[in-house]
Amino acid sequence: MEIKSAMLKKGKLILEYVWLILAIVAVIIGSYKVIYIGFNQSYIFYIIAAIACFMYMLRRAMRKFLENNKK
């Protein structure tokens, strides 16, 4: 039972970092496209980055809340 719990915890942490990496990559791509193409065709990457940042913060807050209430 403990192994399954540890695997779930690790999976949740990995998913949390996937959102953070997605946000960083979206900002980098968005910045590149702003420089070479213009803002009209790159604003969607900033929207994706904002959503990914929100999801990262939400998952992180949820994980910390559950860890604190578990003890």
Query: What 3-state class would DSSP assign to 1?
Result: coil
- C-beta separation of 28 from 52 below 8 A: no
- Residue 55 CA to residue 51 CA, distance in Å, equals 6
The pLDDT of residue 26 is 96
Tens-level pLDDT at each residue, the chain (71 residues): 566 677 777 888 899 999 999 999 999 999 999 999 988 988 999 999 999 999 999 999 998 898 888 76
pTM: predicted TM-score of the whole model, two decimal places: 0.83
Within a 13 Å sphere around the CA of 6, how many CA atoms are in the beta-carbon half? Answer: 3
